[in-house]
C-alpha cells in the first residue's frame, strides 16, 4: 500500500469509532458531522477491504480485522502525537516568538512595564504586539489566532473560550488637587453626582459595567466630555475642575506624576476584576501556555 495515496486522518476516525463503539459519539469526539463520519467509514472499508464495524443494537461492534488493527493504529497515533509535542516544546530563553495581546490602556500603563521587564530577563527574544480594543470585540481574532490573549474586566464565557482572573481592583474617583472638593475628607453622594465628569468610552468593559451599576441606583451624572483613552483623561482632570471615576491602581499611578486627589466613591461598590482570555484551540500551544502562566504569576504580586 502506497501511504501517499492514503488519507491518514482516517486513522483518527478509526480510533474514535474503536474507542466509542458508537457513530454519534465518535463523530463528536473528532468534531465531525455524522454524515461525514459515515462517509469516512466507507472510505476505511474500501481501504481495508473489510466492514471493520457492524452496527448492532449496542452500537458499532468491531470485526476481527478492526480488533487486530486497533493496537497498531493507537500506537501510531500516540507516536505521532509524542513527536509533534516534542518538536513544539517551548524554550523562552531562545525563542523569538511574537505574541499579540489585546489588553487595553489600563493594563498597558499598569501591568505592561512589569511584563516587559520579566521578558527581558527570561525571554529576551520574545516580543509583543498590542491591539487597542479588548473583550468581546476580539472574539473573531481569538478564534483565527490573530490575537493570542485578551485582558478585560469581563471573562469570555462563550463556547470555545477560556478565562482566568488575573487580579481585582476597586473603583475610586479622582480630581485635581485644586478642586473645591479635594480638601473635603469624605465628599457626599450629592457631591459626586453633581460634579462635572470626564467619561471613558463605554466600550471599555469596566466602564460599561460601572455605568450600568450607577444608573440602576438612579444616579445621573453630568458628562462634560467622553474620551477613548484613559491617559488623556488623567491630564484633563489634573488641569481642570472635572472629575473621573477610575480603578484605584490607575488612580494611584496617575497621582505619582500629576496633582490629583483620590476619593472613595460614596457607594457600596462591587470589585473590578480583570481576566485574561484565549480560545480553546490554543490550549496545547506550549508557548502560549508558558506566557499565560507567567502572567498569572506576575499578577499575584501586582
| Residue 230 in grid coordinates | 484613559
Residue 198 Rama label (left phi>0; alpha psi -120 to 50; beta): beta
Alpha-carbon distance of 161 to 158, in angstroms, equals 6
More confident residue, 76 or 259: 259
State whether 199 and 245 are in the same domain.
Answer: yes
Mention every residue, 6+ apart, whose C-beta is less than 8 A from residue 300.
167
Of the pLDDT bands very low, low, confident and very high (cuts 50, 70, 90), residue 204 is: confident
> 154-174: per-residue pLDDT in tens?
888 788 999 999 999 999 999
Average pLDDT value for the chain: 89
Please say whether the beta carbons of 78 and 92 come within 8 A: no
Domain count, the chain: 3
Q: How far out from the chain centre does Cα 69 lie?
A: 41
Task: Read off the DSSP letter of residue 234.
Answer: H
State whether 132 and 160 are in the same domain.
Answer: yes
> Is 249 among the domain residues?
yes
Which of 87, 120, 152 is the endpoint of a domain? 87
Residue 4: what pLDDT? 65
Residue 5: what pLDDT? 65
Residue 45: what pLDDT? 93
> 97-149: per-residue pLDDT in tens?
999 999 888 888 889 999 999 999 999 999 999 987 666 678 888 888 889 99
Residue 85: what pLDDT? 61
State whether 187 and 206 are in the same domain.
Answer: yes
Mention every residue, 6+ apart, whose C-beta is less than 8 A from residue 144.
none
Angle between helices 34-48 and 9-20 (to 10 degrees): 110
Which of 87, 116, 146 is the endpoint of a domain? 87
Above 60 in pLDDT, residue 276? Answer: yes
Burial of 231 (0-12, 13-18, 19+ CB in 10 A): middle
> 238-248: per-residue pLDDT in tens?
999 999 999 99
State whether 223 and 80 are in the same domain.
Answer: no
> Is 239 among the domain residues?
yes
Beta bridge partners of 90: none
Task: Read off the DSSP letter of residue 49.
Answer: T
Which of 87, 113, 142 is the endpoint of a domain? 87
Kindly list the strands in the beta sheet with 171-176, ordered across the sheet, starting from the edge strand earlier in the chain.
222-227, 196-200, 243-247, 171-176, 260-264
Q: Quick one: average pLDDT of 219-237?
A: 92
CATH code of the domain in which 32 resides: 1.10.10.10
CA angle 78, 12, 140 (to 5 degrees): 100
Q: Quick one: average pLDDT of 198-211?
A: 83
State whether 158 and 279 are in the same domain.
Answer: yes
> 16-54: per-residue pLDDT in tens?
999 999 999 999 988 999 899 999 999 999 989 999 999
Burial of 300 (0-12, 13-18, 19+ CB in 10 A): exposed
Residue 88: what pLDDT? 58
| Residue 202 in grid coordinates | 463605554
CATH code of the domain in which 253 resides: 3.40.190.10
Alpha-carbon distance of 21 to 71, in angstroms, equals 15
State whether 280 and 155 are in the same domain.
Answer: yes
> 63-100: per-residue pLDDT in tens?
999 999 998 998 888 777 766 665 557 899 999 999 99
Residue 82: what pLDDT? 67
Q: Which domain holds residue 177?
A: 171-270
Amino acid at each position: 500500500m502506497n501511504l501517499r495515496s492514503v488519507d491518514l486522518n482516517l486513522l483518527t476516525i478509526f480510533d474514535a469509532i474503536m474507542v466509542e463503539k458508537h457513530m454519534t459519539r465518535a463523530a463528536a469526539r473528532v468534531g465531525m458531522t455524522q454524515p461525514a463520519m459515515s462517509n469516512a467509514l466507507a472510505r476505511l472499508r474500501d481501504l481495508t477491504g473489510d466492514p471493520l464495524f457492524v452496527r448492532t443494537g449496542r452500537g458499532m461492534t468491531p470485526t476481527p480485522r478492526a480488533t487486530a488493527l486497533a493496537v497498531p493504529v493507537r500506537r501510531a497515533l500516540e507516536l505521532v502525537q509524542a513527536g509533534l509535542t516534542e518538536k513544539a516544546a517551548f524554550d523562552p530563553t531562545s525563542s523569538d516568538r511574537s505574541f499579540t495581546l489585546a489588553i487595553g490602556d489600563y493594563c498597558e500603563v499598569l501591568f505592561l512595564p512589569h511584563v516587559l521587564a520579566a521578558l527581558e530577563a527570561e525571554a529576551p527574544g520574545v516580543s509583543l504586539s498590542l491591539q487597542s480594543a479588548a473583550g468581546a470585540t476580539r472574539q473573531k481574532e481569538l478564534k483565527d489566532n490573530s490575537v493570542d490573549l485578551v485582558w478585560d474586566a469581563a471573562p469570555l464565557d462563550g463556547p470555545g473560550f477560556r478565562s482566568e482572573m488575573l487580579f481585582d481592583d476597586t473603583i475610586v474617583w479622582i480630581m485635581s488637587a485644586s478642586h473645591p472638593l479635594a480638601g473635603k475628607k469624605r465628599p457626599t453622594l450629592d457631591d459626586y453626582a453633581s460634579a462635572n465628569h470626564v467619561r471613558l468610552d463605554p466600550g471599555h468593559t469596566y466602564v460599561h459595567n460601572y455605568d450600568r451599576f450607577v444608573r440602576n441606583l438612579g444616579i445621573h451624572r453630568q458628562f462634560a466630555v467622553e474620551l477613548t483613552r484613559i491617559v488623556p483623561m488623567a491630564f484633563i482632570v489634573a488641569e481642570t475642575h472635572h472629575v473621573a471615576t477610575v480603578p484605584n491602581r490607575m488612580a494611584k499611578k496617575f497621582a505619582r506624576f500629576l496633582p490629583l486627589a483620590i476619593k472613595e466613591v460614596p457607594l457600596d461598590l462591587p470589585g473590578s476584576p480583570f481576566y485574561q482570555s484565549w480560545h480553546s484551540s490554543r490550549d496545547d500551544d506550549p508557548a502560549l501556555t508558558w506566557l499565560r502562566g507567567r502572567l498569572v504569576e506576575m499578577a499575584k504580586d501586582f
